[in-house]
Amino acid sequence: MKKFNLEKDPKITSGFKVPEQYFDNFSEKVMGQLPTDTKKVIPLYNQKKKLFIAVAAVLVFGLFLPVYNQLVQPSEELDTITLENHLSYQTNINQYDLISELDKEDLKKMSTTTPLNDEIIEDHLTSNSDLERLLSE
């Protein structure tokens, strides 16, 4: 293979030629083609306004939280459905355990004011098929 020296061998021209003094006034030509009227840029949000709104929101939330906690206190009374479900699923609780926990006020609340007739009792006992179980208890 023949040795190739860049400095001695003839060079190939690219075929593109730049006119003389083309780059001297190139920036002036480009700037002349740009529109001269500039429009004012209005930002969508202001940084100071955004910071002020964030601080105000934190203060309102911080001041309202204790007031909300005092206004909305959880009720301490149990819901009857929740209590019935709890007692029905607790298999280790029997009727005697429940009776032992009742006090006089609870018994007064549970007392009925309607008198029972003997006929009603007899009808119930005759229609009830678990009469033997009731007598054994």
pLDDT, tens digit (0-9, with 9 covering 90-100), for 93-107? 777 887 888 888 888
* pLDDT tens for each residue of 65-93: 888 888 887 666 777 888 788 877 876 87
Encoded tokens for 35:
């529109």
Distance separating alpha carbons of residues 58 and 65, to the nearest angstrom: 11
Structural tokens at position 26:
């190139």
pLDDT value, residue 40: 80
Q: What token pair was written down for 53?
A: 């709104």
pLDDT score at 134: 66
Phi-psi region of 15 (alpha: psi -120 to 50; beta: other; left: phi over 0): left
18-46 pLDDT per residue, tens: 888 888 888 888 888 887 777 787 776 67
| pLDDT for residue 85 | 82
